Amino acid sequence: MRLAKPSLAALLAVVLAGCATLAVAAEKDEAGLLMTADRLERGIRMSNRNVNDPELTDYLREVTCRAVREHCGGLRVYVAREPGFNAFMLPNGTMVVQSGLLLRLESEAELAAVLGHEASHYVRRHSLNRWRKAKRTSSALALLGAVASAGGAVAQAGTGSAGGWSTAGSAVAFAEVAAIYQMFAYNRKQEQEADLDGIRWMAAGGYDAGGASAVWRKLVAEQDAVDGDSGFSLLSTHPAPKKRIRYLTEAAQNLAGASAAGLDAHLSSFTSKFTNYREEWLTDEMASIHPARFAVVANEQRNIGFPAGLSAYMEAKVWLRHVRRGKANERAGAISQALAAFQRGEAAPDDMPPQAHREWGRALLLPRRPDLAAAQGRFDRYFELHPDARDRGTISTLMEKRRGKVR
């Protein structure tokens, strides 16, 4: 029996029914992802790792809106007290900027480039696209469960002590959030789209588009300071930094006429927003990155007014930690770097803290042939600056033992 050909109307009905089914599935996808993102946001907001400073967050919001203009509606910006060069965007409009990234920026134009880049991920719905791909390649239920679990962990950690950085539970919770974020890591094409959107928007908002490539030059400087593994996990999905610098530089040249403000036009207001946080954020970095990378970050901080003596002391401490925790064949070099940092600190226009001289004295005792006279001189300087030091007896005993070994 010969079947009748379906009419055009019947075919159209079938197609529309299929589209409706896909649309419902897509809506469910988006609704589920937004619900879990909302839960993550609540956890971030409650966490003691959230830098709860209304003036600071208002400032970041203002820069975001100036950088992306009509695209800023629905965006909410949080600062997480987390070391490391990173920021991320949740699909519900939640933007999280780590303190470690802010610490590496030197101008408002650089900040605008970062915020514009993250906003582009939201505008282009990159997270939703990545989520749909994840559903095709892994267990959607497991992934959703992990996201929900991380949100709950962040919220629970937020009920801990107000100390933030010292709360282990909170640290674990934010690590979980970062892990979930990596599940939705954007591919290199999406990253480049976000780069180019961000630089176009920031130029239209009056910022110098050169700020975009400047951010990545900082990353390259940190990478170049350390041989081997750089520690930047985001590079597995992001365009290579040097390639990124090239296409951002080219884009900035094409947009030069659109940039009304210079790179440093907002420098004074930018640096003042973070003055009260720089020392504690640098302290966080000390425990998380290689000392050579920390030296690059500390030097950038000195360029924008952070006390040179204090930053040199912090550098020295990071190198001394590396003496204890680094490879045996790096010990001599780390001691040398620490002593050089102490010397820069003493030559700085501002003073190092009194305890820097005590640590300097101890560092002088570390080489196989310690300079006992120089070490005693540093300890004497420490006692001069801190006459009520309670460790005077401990240091005297240490020096007696070292002199006895030399004899």
Half-sphere exposure of 217 (CA within 13 A, CB side): 13
Per-residue pLDDT band at 234 (split at 50, 70, 90): very low
pLDDT of residue 147: 54
Nearest to 36, CA basis, from 167, 135, 150: 150
Q: Is residue 180 pLDDT above 90, yes or no?
A: no
* Model pTM above 0.85: no
Q: Is residue 168 pLDDT above 50, yes or no?
A: no
pLDDT of residue 243: 84
Per-residue pLDDT band at 286 (split at 50, 70, 90): very high
For the residues 293-311, what does the mean pLDDT come to? 93
Annotate 122-152 with DSSP letters as a single string: HHTTHHHHHHHHHHHHS-HHHHHHHHHHHHH
For β-strands 87-89 and 94-98, DSSP reports them as antiparallel
Angle between helices 291-303 and 308-325 (to 10 degrees): 180
For the residues 5-21, what does the mean pLDDT come to? 40
The pLDDT tens digits of the residues spanning 49-69 come to 899 999 999 999 999 999 998
- The span from the CA of 350 to the CA of 13, in Å, is 78
In contact, 62 and 160? CB cutoff 8 Å: no
Q: Is residue 340 pLDDT above 90, yes or no?
A: yes
Of all residues in the chain, what percent carry a pLDDT higher than 90?
39
Domain assignments of the chain as residue spans, ordered by start: 24-273
pLDDT of residue 238: 58
Lowest mean pLDDT among 26-35, 140-149, 178-187, 326-335: 140-149
For the residues 193-217, what does the mean pLDDT come to? 89
- The span from the CA of 388 to the CA of 4, in Å, is 103
Per-residue pLDDT band at 167 (split at 50, 70, 90): very low
pLDDT of residue 398: 94
Residue type, 121: H
Half-sphere exposure of 221 (CA within 13 A, CB side): 15
The pLDDT tens digits of the residues spanning 235-263 come to 445 567 788 888 888 888 888 655 544 44
286: three-class secondary structure by DSSP: helix
